[in-house]
Amino acid sequence: MAQRRKKVVAPPTTIRRLSIYFRVLGGLKALGETSTSSGDLANQTGFTAAQVRRDLTYFGSFGKRGVGYDVAQLRQHLASILRVNQDWRMALIGVGNLGRALLSYDGFKNHGYNVVEAFDIHPELVGKTINGLTIHHTRDIHTLFANEQIDMAIVAVPAENAQLVVDQVVDAGTRAVLNFSPAHIRVPDHVKLSNVDLTMEVEYLSHAIHSLKTIAQT
Amino acid sequence: MAQRRKKVVAPPTTIRRLSIYFRVLGGLKALGETSTSSGDLANQTGFTAAQVRRDLTYFGSFGKRGVGYDVAQLRQHLASILRVNQDWRMALIGVGNLGRALLSYDGFKNHGYNVVEAFDIHPELVGKTINGLTIHHTRDIHTLFANEQIDMAIVAVPAENAQLVVDQVVDAGTRAVLNFSPAHIRVPDHVKLSNVDLTMEVEYLSHAIHSLKTIAQT
DNA sequence: CATTGTGAAGAAATTCACAGCT
DNA sequence: AGCTGTGAATTTCTTCACAATG
């Protein structure tokens, strides 16, 4: 112990912004742009130039002073930091409306995130094929996860079943869970959890609209 | 200028947590619980007791020292802060896979967030009925928004059309936008924007899984 | 005496501002 | 001359710790 400690680890907020820079760089590349700058990235993302630069410094220095960043090169660096295009194998648990929408979500497949298994608890869905995937029963999660190495589980089941399902996928060795159910999920330290909470966003907005009125008097 | 300034405005993070407390209180109420505490809420949300209390102080003091909080009463306070159950009128723009899933998302309708209009640009969808809603052409946004007072727009169109669509709904008077498209959207100050970025969450996880390996050596 | 509400302290994230390269 | 990379300052957010109180 008592090791020296520099500012080493990037905040979660930085990682999420990197994902956005990565996307913008993809756009620039598609347009044939070869060079960009922190100011340009700031413009296209709504963050500040200082923040763009600060975010990048957590991982290295990728630009040339006086010049800027090489689009392809910076994009490649971010791909490597974020680990995109690494043929991630994902399983979808819960093939309801939201689950089905996620199955065909372009943003996943196009970046190396492949849904390779689908599960549901409803007997009438089990055995059916959707987007080329046979739907399995959730009771078979453990067995099938063992065969196919699954890196990430997408959980889109009702709140009351969510913890149970997550326990199963964690038990089966999955190390990342993307949870869409409106429930507080507990996972052990070695598992990473990310929540997408649609109700929360809507309620945030309904609060925010209103408080504008209150603030808008200078 | 040079006005005095107390800590008055709650951070956005607080608002989002309030939404989660609200949900937990709903669960407690359903179980017949009448009383709770910051410690209990902390347990059920994964935040800390101090944070629960701090979050609440931005809006008032709702508990009794030595006792805790009345479930129904605190829930009612949060409902009022978040403005749930106020019959919000929402419009969905983009009736693709994701849009359709959102149309039938229980979390919205059950809390007074009603999708009352649906729009799409594709001629083959216009005129069709889905979940009891007739799909209109996006070109009619302005006209139809004028008739029906729309409080919030849910944007689930491809990134390349997103800004255009948002400009239209903003122009039509909407003051809140929930954007699901992977694009940086600009809105004027009087409009509130919230983004749900699925790719970002997946990339966050793929980064996080990996960095665990690096950190896990003590 | 258990639990709130809150100043004060601490930690984390953002922004400033400028030296250092190209 | 222009843009990066980064210490330092600042702001924002979280946690501590305890007086107040039902």
The pLDDT score that the predictor gives to residue B216 is 37
Clarify whether residues A76 and A111 are in a common domain: no
Clarify whether residues A110 and A62 are in a common domain: no
Domain end position, chosen among A58, A82, A106: A82
Instruction: Please check whether residue A93 lies inside any domain of the structure.
Output: yes
DSSP state of B11: P
Q: What is the pLDDT of residues A110-123, one digit of tens each?
A: 889 999 999 999 99
| The two three-digit tokens of residue B50, written as one number | 């101090």
User: In chain B, pLDDT over 70 holds for what percent of residues?
Assistant: 93
Distance from CA of B50 to the nearest CA of A (A): 18
Interatomic CA distance for residues B106 and A205, integer angstroms: 18
Clarify whether residues A146 and A195 are in a common domain: yes
Instruction: Please check whether residue B216 lies inside any domain of the structure.
Output: no
Clarify whether residues A75 and A118 are in a common domain: no
Domain end position, chosen among B46, B64, B82: B82
Category of A2 on φ-ψ map: left (φ > 0), alpha (ψ -120 to 50) or beta:
left
Q: Output the average pLDDT for chain B.
A: 92
How many domains are there within chain A? 2
Q: What is the pLDDT of residues B59-93, one digit of tens each?
A: 999 999 999 999 999 999 999 999 998 999 999 99
Interatomic CA distance for residues A131 and A115, integer angstroms: 10
Clarify whether residues A26 and A66 are in a common domain: yes
The pLDDT score that the predictor gives to residue B110 is 82
Instruction: Please check whether residue B42 lies inside any domain of the structure.
Output: yes
A2-6 average pLDDT score:
39
Clarify whether residues B178 and B100 are in a common domain: yes
User: Strand D within 7 Å of which CB atoms in A 65-94?
Assistant: 65-69
Instruction: Please check whether residue B209 lies inside any domain of the structure.
Output: no
Judged by CB atoms closer than 8 Å, whether chains meet at A199 and B111 is answered as yes
The pLDDT score that the predictor gives to residue B8 is 73
Instruction: Please check whether residue A16 lies inside any domain of the structure.
Output: yes
Interatomic CA distance for residues B62 and B157, integer angstroms: 41
Clarify whether residues A30 and A72 are in a common domain: yes
Clarify whether residues A65 and A110 are in a common domain: no
Domain end position, chosen among B82, B108, B125: B82
Instruction: Please check whether residue B180 lies inside any domain of the structure.
Output: yes
Q: What is the pLDDT of residues B172-200, one digit of tens each?
A: 999 999 999 999 999 999 999 999 999 99
Clarify whether residues B110 and B53 are in a common domain: no
CB of B136 closer than 8 Å to CB of B126: yes
Comparing A3 with B108, the larger pLDDT belongs to B108
* Residue B206 forms contact with A (CB below 8 Å): yes
Clarify whether residues B92 and B187 are in a common domain: yes
* Rg, chain A, Cα only: 21
Q: What is the pLDDT of residues A178-190, one digit of tens each?
A: 999 999 999 999 9
Q: Which amino acid is at A36?
A: T
Q: Is there contact between A45 and strand C, defined as CB under 7 Å from any strand atom?
A: no
Residue A109 binned pLDDT confidence (cut-offs 50, 70, 90): confident
Q: Output the average pLDDT for chain A.
A: 92
**Domain containing B190 — which CATH number?**
3.40.50.720
Q: HEC profile for chain A?
A: CCCCCCCCCCCHHHHHHHHHHHHHHHHHHHCCCCEECHHHHHHHHCCCHHHHHHHHHCCCCCCECCCEEEHHHHHHHHHHHHCCCCCEEEEEECCCHHHHHHHCCHHHHCCCEEEEEEEECCCCCCCCEECCEEEEEHHHHHHHHHHCCCCEEEECCCHHHHHHHHHHHHHCCCCEEEECCCCCCCCCCCCEEEECCHHHHHHHHHHHHHHHHHHCCC
User: Measuring from the CA of residue A61 to each C1', which nucleotide is nearest?
Assistant: D5
Clarify whether residues A103 and A172 are in a common domain: yes
**Domain containing A73 — which CATH number?**
1.10.10.10
User: Measuring from the CA of residue A67 to each C1', which nucleotide is nearest?
Assistant: D3
Judged by CB atoms closer than 8 Å, whether chains meet at A204 and B15 is answered as yes
Interatomic CA distance for residues A59 and A84, integer angstroms: 16
Clarify whether residues A73 and A29 are in a common domain: yes
Largest CA distance in chain A: 63
Instruction: Please check whether residue A209 lies inside any domain of the structure.
Output: no
* Residue B75 forms contact with A (CB below 8 Å): no
The pLDDT score that the predictor gives to residue B210 is 83
* Strands lying side by side in the sheet with A88-93: A129-130, A133-137, A113-120, A88-93, A152-155, A176-179, A192-195
Q: What is the DSSP string of B115-172?
A: EEEEEES-TTTTT-EETTEEEEEGGGHHHHHHHS---EEEE-S-HHHHHHHHHHHHHT
Instruction: Please check whether residue B4 lies inside any domain of the structure.
Output: no
Domain that holds residue B66: 12-82
